[in-house]
Amino acid sequence: MNGINYKMGLLTDEQRAEVVIGNVKHKTIPQIVYKYREFDNFTEAIFRDNELFFSKPSNFNDPFDCRITDKGNYSSQEIIDYFVGCGMPRHDAVTVALQNAADPNKTVSALEKIRTEVMDSNGILCLSECPDSILMWSYYSRSHSGFVLGFDVLEDPPFFIMPLPIRYVRDYPAFRYMVEKEKFITHGMISKSEFWDHEREIRICKREGPGPYKFSKKCLTEIVFGCKTNDADRDKLIKYLKDYGYNHVKLKRTVPARTSYTLEIQDLTVF
pLDDT in tens, 143-166: 999 999 999 999 999 999 988 999
Residue 6 has pLDDT above 60, yes or no: no
Q: What is the pLDDT of residue 119?
A: 87
SS3 category, 139: helix
Over residues 234-253, mean pLDDT: 97
More confident residue, 50 or 12: 50
Confidence of residue 2 (pLDDT cuts 50, 70, 90): very low
d(CA 125, CA 109): 28
Phi and psi torsions of 211, nearest 5°: 140, -175
For 150-208, what is each residue's pLDDT tens digit? 999 999 999 999 889 999 999 999 999 999 888 888 888 899 999 999 999 999 999 89
Q: Are 181 and 74 in contact (CB under 8 A)?
A: no
How high does pLDDT run on average in the chain? 91
Angle, CA 252 vertex, CA 60 and CA 141 arms, to 5°: 25
Across the strands, what pairs with 267? 252
Q: What's the average model confidence in pLDDT over 232-253? A: 97
The residue among 226, 223, 254 whose CA lies nearest residue 47 is: 223
Q: For the chain, where are the alpha helices, taking DSSP H only?
A: 13-25, 43-48, 76-85, 90-102, 104-120, 134-140, 183, 231-243
Ranges of beta strands (E only) in the chain are: 32-37, 51-54, 69-70, 123-128, 147-152, 163-165, 167-169, 174-175, 191-193, 201-206, 211-214, 220-225, 250-256, 263-267
pLDDT at res. 223: 98
